[in-house]
Amino acid sequence: MTAPTITGVTPDAATQRDIYRRMALIKANDERARKVIRAGKLVLPYYSPRGQEVIPSALSVLLTNDDYICTIYRGIHDMLAKGVPLKDLWAELAGRVTGTCKGKGGPMHITHPKSGVMVTTGIVGSSMPIANGLAWASQIKGDGRVTVAYFGDGASNIGAFHESLNLAAVWKLPVVFVCQNNEWGEHTAYEKATSARQIADRAVGYAMPGARVDGNDPFAMYAAAKDAVDRARAGGGPTLIEAMTYRFHGHVLGDADAYMDKARKEAAVAADPVPRFRAHLIAEGIATEAELAEVEAAIEAELDEAVAHALASDYPTVEELARDVFAPEAVVGEAA
């Protein structure tokens, strides 16, 4: 990891610290989540983003709350990097009425428009078609917003991927397609499912800029993201970024991950991007050990508070089953 020197593409020191803060938050949040779930305090399907911290962190520093993202079940890192408040998020993981979605959506369906998290989906590939629509809205309004669609390598093989990239290219939409290639789709290795030598190659079929980047390198990721986000904001249309990363854990918490090559996994964990970037910041004098320790301590304190808040909150009442199916104000005949 060496900072590239092209002017305007390397994040400045404050931005580097900002990227690190987001990465540290994702890592700490993940460790807390696994601990709390393993302790039996919460029961939920949990898809760990450990190992993939860099991607949304380096990208989100280029976005504001007005920019949109659509993400997936394995998207808690994307949400955190985009700024979903910890308390609301944890309350949702806990299924409480204080959660982002009153507990009704749960971990796979976090929505938080205030921070631009418009859709979180459990259906592989479905973040992309909806992202196009948000981007179409921005194109009509001319509001300069960018929409990011996150998805996995496995998702690059489903029809919705293809339809979405084609439409975005034909309509020149301000959208960035970010494939987080963590080498696995559930228990299936990349090459068992994906014919492309690299997913970035598929951009050619849409006459769209496409790039494979080291998604665990904050500098490479930032540069690629900046290029794509700038292009989208300037009306230059969509980009496909294939961000290479690695899934540190099994598909879902509880998955014994026996199918994953041990050596490959150990190498990835040894190259953990979070401590690596931390060491870089200190080595380059961008932050001191004490400063970063303070950031991390603040995160832990915030997590303590969020978890406590979540566990102390009420569950929604069963009346919620009948609410939010349709708008309350909708004038219709008697309900079916």
Partner 1 sequence: MSDTSQITILQAINKALTDAMAEDDSVLVLGEEVADPEEGGIVGVTKGLSTRFGPHRVRSTPISEQAIIGAAIGASLAGFKPVAEIMLMNFTTVAMDMIVNHAAKLRFMSGGQTHVPIVIRTMTGAGFGTGGQHCDYLEAWFAHTAGIKVVAPSNAADAYGLMRSAIEDPDPVLFIENLPTYWTPSAAPQPGARVPLGKASVLSPGQDVTVIAYARMVQEAQAAVAVLKAGGISAELIDLRSVAPWDRRTVLESVARTGRALVVHEAVTPFGVGAEISAVIHEELFSRLKAPVKRLGGAFCPVPFSKPLETAFAPRATDIEAAVRSLLATA
Considering only CA atoms, which of 40, 55, 16, 107 is closest in space to residue 228? 55
Count CB-CB contacts under 10 A for residue 56. Answer: 33
Toward partner 1, which CB reaches closer, 236 or 300?
236
Distance from C-alpha of 230 to C-alpha of 239, rounded to nearest angstrom? 10
One-letter amino acid at 189 equals: A
Is residue 153 part of the contact set for Mg ion (CB under 5 A)?
yes
Task: Please identify which residue in 45, 83, 105, 122 interacts with ligand TPP, judged by CB under 6 A.
Answer: 122
Using CB under 8 A, which of the segments 10-18, 67-75, 152-160, 327-335 binds a second copy? 152-160
Is residue 236 part of the contact set for partner 1 (CB under 8 A)?
no
Q: Reading across the β-sheet that carries 239-244, which strands appear in turn?
A: 117-121, 68-72, 147-152, 175-181, 239-244, 210-214
List the single partner that 320 binds among partner 1, Mg ion, ligand TPP, none, CB under 5 to 8 Å by kind.
partner 1
**Environment class of 63 (CB within 10 Å of its CB; exposed 0-12, middle 13-18, buried 19+):** buried
Measured CA angle at 137 (ends 131, 143), to 5 deg: 110
155 close to 123: Cβ distance less than 8 angstroms: no
Is residue 211 part of the contact set for a second copy (CB under 8 A)?
no
Toward ligand TPP, which CB reaches closer, 155 or 176?
155
List the single partner that 222 binds among a second copy, ligand TPP, partner 1, none, CB under 5 to 8 Å by kind.
none
**Environment class of 104 (CB within 10 Å of its CB; exposed 0-12, middle 13-18, buried 19+):** middle
Nearest distance from C-beta of residue 223 to partner 1, angstroms: 27
List the single partner that 307 binds among partner 1, a second copy, ligand TPP, none, CB under 5 to 8 Å by kind.
none
Toward ligand TPP, which CB reaches closer, 27 or 226?
27
Phi, psi dihedrals of residue 244, rounded to the nearest 5°: -75, 130
Nearest distance from C-beta of residue 195 to a second copy, angstroms: 3
Residues in contact with ligand TPP, shown as a per-residue x/- string from 246 to 285 under the rule CB under 6 A: -x--------------------------------------
Write out the binding residues for partner 1, residues 271-300 only, by CB under 8 A. Answer: none
In the numeric block, the tokens 């970010």 are attached to 178
Q: What is the dihedral of CA 202, 188, 25, 79, to 10 degrees?
A: 60
Residues 6+ away with beta carbon under 8 Å from 39:
none
List the single partner that 182 binds among partner 1, a second copy, ligand TPP, none, CB under 5 to 8 Å by kind.
ligand TPP
Task: Please identify which residue in 26, 165, 225, 306 interacts with a second copy, judged by CB under 8 A.
Answer: 165
Structure tokens at 201: 């190659």
Is residue 12 part of the contact set for ligand TPP (CB under 6 A)?
no
322: helix, strand or coil: coil
Nearest distance from C-beta of residue 206 to Mg ion, angstroms: 18
Task: Please identify which residue in 83, 133, 144, 236 interacts with partner 1, judged by CB under 8 A.
Answer: 133
Is residue 201 part of the contact set for a second copy (CB under 8 A)?
yes
Query: Which residues lie near a second copy (CB under 8 A)?
Result: 157-163, 165-166, 169-170, 192-197, 201-202, 204-208
Query: Which residues lie near Mg ion (CB under 5 A)?
Result: 152-154, 182, 184-185
